[in-house]
Amino acid sequence: MAALGAEQESTLRLGTSVGLGTRLDALLTVLSERAPQMMVELISAPTAARLQRVRDGELDAAFVRGVEDSPELEHLPLWRDALVAALPAEHPLATRQKIDLADLADLPLRIAPREANPHLVDTAVDACRAAGFEPIMGPPFTTDQDTLAAIASGKPSWTLYYAPQAEIQPAPRVVFRPFTDPAPAVQSYLAVRQGPPSRRLAALLDACHRLGDAAA
C-alpha cells in the first residue's frame, strides 16, 4: 500500500487536447528533465469532461482552448498557436509559401461541427469574415486520415490545422501553408483547481513556463 501511494503521489494526471502536436512532445521532454522521477498519465476526453475531472480531483490539470466559465477552476494562459491551411498539393495555391485567407473564399471548408469544437469554428468563421467573405461549409471534418485523403483526392477543398499538429501530421498529397498576417490563432490554457499547486502541478507549471520562454 505504501508503494502504491508513493506511485500515485509521483504520477501527474494530465488531460490532453487535440492538436498539441510538437507542443506536447516538447513539454514532456522538459518535464522529464526537470522532474525525472515523475510519471505522466495522459488522459483524452471531451473538453467538458476534462474540466469536470480537474474539478473532481481526478486530473491534476488539463489543456483547453478558449475560456469558459468554470466554477472552482483557473485558466492559466500558456501560448498561442497559429492555424495553418491544409489544401491539395496540386492546387495552384500550394506553390505559395504563405496564403492570403481571402484566396480560399471559393473553396469549401471542411471543419468540425460547431457543437464539437465551438472555439475553433468561431475562430475560423471570424477570420474569414474579417478577410471579406463567408466561408463555404463543405463536408464536416471527421478523422485526420479520411479528411486529408478527401482533400487530396476529391473536389478541391481545405481545412485548418493547429501549426504544432501540422508539423507531425502525415499527409500524402496535401500541403500545410501558413497564412499571411493577420493570421488566425488560438490561445491555449491550463485548467487547474484554485489554491496552492501540488508538487506535481508545480513541476508541470515550471515546464510550461520554460517551454513558453523557449518559444518566445
pLDDT per residue rounded down to tens, the chain (216 residues): 434 344 446 899 999 988 899 999 999 999 999 899 999 999 999 888 999 999 999 999 999 988 766 788 999 999 899 999 999 999 999 999 999 999 999 999 999 999 888 999 999 999 999 999 999 999 999 999 999 999 999 899 999 999 999 999 998 899 999 999 999 999 999 999 998 888 899 999 999 888 766 554
| pLDDT score of 18 | 84
Grid coordinates belonging to 194: 484554485
| Phi, psi for residue 145 in degrees, rounded to 5 | -60, -50
| pLDDT score of 2 | 39
Whole-prediction pTM: 0.86
Instruction: Write the DSSP assignment of 108-164 as a string of letters.
Output: EE----TTT-HHHHHHHHHHHHHTT-PPEE-SPP--HHHHHHHHHHSSS-BEEEEHH
Q: Are 82 and 184 in contact (CB under 8 A)?
A: yes
| pLDDT score of 4 | 36
Grid coordinates belonging to 157: 477543398
| pLDDT score of 121 | 95
Q: From CA 185, how far away is CA 194, in angstroms rounded?
A: 27
Q: Kind of pairing, strands 39-44 and 61-65?
A: unpaired
Question: At 16, is the secondary structure helix, strand, or coil?
Answer: strand
The HSE-up count of residue 42 (CA atoms within 13 Å, CB side) is 10
